[in-house]
A = this chain, B = another copy of it.
Amino acid sequence: MHAMRHESGLLTDLYELTMAAGYFQTGLRSRGTFELFARHLPEARNFLVVAGIEQALDYLETIRFTREEIGYLRRHPAFRNVSRKFFDYLARFRFSGDVWAMPEGTLAFAGEPLLRVEAPMAEAQLVETYLLAAVHFQTLIASKAARVVLAARGRPVIEFGSRRAHGVEAGVLAARAAWIAGCNGTSNAYAGNAYGIPTFGTQAHSWIMAHASEEEAFAKFLDVFPQASTLLVDTYDTRRAIERIAAMKRKPAGLRLDSGNLAADSLWARRRLKRAGWNDVQIFASGDLDERKIDALLRAGAEVDGFGVGTAMVTSPDAPSIGVVYKLVEVKRDGRAVHVAKFSPEKATHPGPKQVFRFHDRSGQFARDQIALADERPRGGEPLLVPALRKGRRIRPAELLEEARARCRKQLLLLPDRYQRIDKRIEFPVSYSPRLERMFERMRRAALRGGAVK
């Protein structure tokens, strides 16, 4: 996978390109508004942590078609009847639309637009696939990581999943999303360098196995990393390994338990460390952990100071995808804004450009959200979508990642505890504004009557 062009206009589904050609060739130059949102939350998620917005905006600012890429489309059988003018259009293609977005780290719920795109139809259509892919994945991982962080009750959580993420790029982006959601760092060195995320590591079983004995392996590591050695103790026999370290009389920074009975071994390890007079040696646990196992460990009184969470954090196995969609809600027709909606069974969408308003209770906690039309101004509601691009350019520079992380932390303090339970589905109250509900019902009835759908 070399030199993938992240600005490529081909990073999309073919039908976005054929539809763009269709809009172009039939003269449909009017603007449309699309919204990106999750239809439903997975059963095991009470909230989403928005992430991936900056990557989406980067794409909108830089999307281009190279001559070679246009050549590919010209030769493609689907474009047989498409005029040369469309390919000229692609050669000078720029995204020129206006975009509103929830800033990264925002807590969001089902039905709420995370991104709203208003642009000439062909442009807004073309970028659908990339926007979904960028926002879906990081939001998925940030939402999972937030649960793991909650389960750890203040103990540091390090993202360890690069090797099992869905490809190399996914590993880097998962580290970014996990950091936004409150993880304390990552093992991914590239993400550390690219995004300024703290990076951590211990040692692998191979280090132990490469040496003639465990003692030698531990001693050599302590020689090179006298202040930063977290020693892996489960290669052969956990307790025997800890005895060996104690007998060496060289205090490590930490011990890492990666298999076996973590609760029992951590208690044993703490006692043994205390007996050695080592009260500040950290016990670090890893090995196929997730939020439920961490919760169970802590309930069982495990003596663990920090957690490394890999596969479960970066693949989100209890919800490996979220049903995010990107739906047309308004189109300008004959100079007039026409609200549109879809009424497929179980896939209906609400019409019109929207804003999400958040209401707080008297103590300042989040009380409820209302999804309203963008021109409504419900009193006391804080709008969550903010202008991000105007005429295809960022209105302000990309946020520091630390700001997104702080936003998430702050919002979690304002989200009532019951929604932060990892073991129970409790729905945060989200409603549509009365005006929006009336419009939806009127349109749905018209569609059912089979009248011309406007």
Contacts and interface: CB of A to CB of B under 8 A. Distances in A.
A80 B226 CA distance: 9
A172 interface: yes
Interface centre among A3, A15, A26, A171 (most CB of B within 10 A): A15
A22 B221 contact: yes
Given A169-B167, A187-B13, A206-B327, A4 B7 contact: no
A235 interface: yes
B129 A170 contact: no
Given A81-B224, A227-B80, A345-B259, A167 B137 contact: yes
A168 B133 contact: yes
Contacts of A169: 1, 4, 167-170
A116 to B, nearest CB: 14
A77 B228 contact: yes
Interface in A193-246: 193, 199-207, 209-214, 220-221, 223-228, 234-237, 240
A165 interface: yes
Contacts of A166: 137, 140, 165-167, 170, 174, 315
Contacts of A324: 163-164
Nearest to A220: B26
Given A18-B225, A207-B22, A165 B6 contact: no
Nearest to A334: B212
A310 to B, nearest CB: 9
A333 interface: yes
Contact of A81 (B78, B204, B209, B225): B225
A340 B167 contact: no
A282 interface: no
Contacts of A76: 192, 199
Contacts of A234: 344
Interface stretch (A104-112, A296-304, A419-427, A445-453): A445-453
Given A4-B169, A130-B168, A344-B260, A13 B328 contact: no
A321 B132 contact: no
For this chain, the copies found in one complex come to 2
A136 B320 CA distance: 16
Nearest to A190: B10
A343 B220 contact: no
Given A2-B7, A169-B169, A345-B260, A163 B133 contact: yes
Contact of A342 (B170, B192, B205, B225): B205
Nearest to A223: B26
B163 A132 contact: yes
Interface in A121-137: 121, 125, 128-130, 132-134, 136-137
Interface of A: 1-8, 10-19, 21-23, 25-26, 28, 32, 34, 55, 58, 62, 68-69, 72-73, 76-78, 80-82, 121, 125, 128-130, 132-134, 136-138, 140, 160, 162-174, 187-190, 192-193, 199-207, 209-214, 220-221, 223-228, 234-237, 240, 258-260, 311, 315-317, 320-321, 324, 326-328, 331, 333, 340-347, 447, 450, 452-454
26 contacts: A1-B169, A4-B172, A12-B162, A12-B188, A13-B162, A15-B187, A15-B203, A18-B201, A18-B224, A19-B204, A22-B203, A78-B228, A82-B224, A128-B163, A128-B204, A130-B168, A133-B162, A136-B163, A163-B324, A166-B315, A205-B342, A206-B327, A210-B340, A212-B454, A213-B452, A315-B321
Given A16-B204, A68-B193, A212-B333, 6 more contacts: A1-B55, A11-B188, A13-B189, A19-B204, A21-B224, A206-B328
